[in-house]
Amino acid sequence: MSVRRTAAIWQYSQMTKSARLVMLSLADRADDDGYCWPSMADIARRCLIDYRTVQYCVRIAERSAELFVKERSGKTFQFLVLPGMDSEEIYAAFLKRFKMDVGAVNQWILTKTDPGKVFRGDNFSDPTKFSWGVGKVFQGPLKSDSDEPSLNTNKPSLSKKEDPTRWPVVMAQLKNSMDHGPFEEYIAPLHSPHLSNGVLHLSAPSQRVAEWCQARMTKTIANLMRGIHTRDISVIFTHPDLEP
């Protein structure tokens, strides 16, 4: 049970009548990251409505991007209850629960919502609002110095203080998806990110860390970078002791 998610439905959800009741039931079952897996029959029983009405309400919430739904074998479902979550929470939940990167999340938003409408963070000084932008794709947890984010359909604009490599965003996603030990030992010490000619260079504190990352993390980081920058990016881990 998540008090946070339930309170967020009351404050931010645009659902009404039975659909609102279904969202409240899901939020009551959810963890703090919005994840839950009740059966449709359980939702119907708790809301005192019939099974078909639950299915209809779930479809409405999914089309409105207030709910992410993934069907599993045996006609069971996994849900993410999204209203009230800030940008970093949303992307971390998708990555942790469904192993989806930023590009895959944006693709879901584009294909599951009403035409021309996609989810975006409305105010980055207080990014806890569930709101809409017309024809704009939210490109990930990008924070701006201004109240309004810089967004476009191709590539996010960056504030003067923003790291153009977007490495902090990748770090946050890896921290949420990896075991604590390997992350702290091998990923956290990486430093001095530099992006040039489609190649991300990361400096490692030792040859052992560089070789471990090169063997195990190259593809993962490249996929995350591609989702954020919407283009292919190679990854190289460097250390003075490594041969050129």
Spatial CA neighbour of 94 closest among 26, 163, 176, 208? 176
pLDDT digits (tens, 9 = 90+) for 192-244: 999 999 999 999 999 999 999 999 999 889 888 887 777 889 999 998 766 55
Dihedral angle of Cα 34, 38, 40, 41, to the nearest 10 degrees: -150
Domains and CATH numbers, the chain: 3-81 (1.10.10.10), 86-158 (no CATH), 167-238 (3.30.300.180)
pLDDT digits (tens, 9 = 90+) for 115-160: 444 444 332 223 333 333 333 333 333 333 333 333 333 333 333 3
| pTM of structure | 0.48
pLDDT of residue 141: 32
Conformational region of residue 179, where left means phi above 0, alpha means psi within -120 to 50, and beta covers everything else: beta
Q: What is the mean pLDDT of the chain?
A: 75
pLDDT of residue 206: 92
CA distance to 15, 98, 199, per residue, from 196 (Å): 46, 31, 5
Percent of the chain with pLDDT over 70: 72
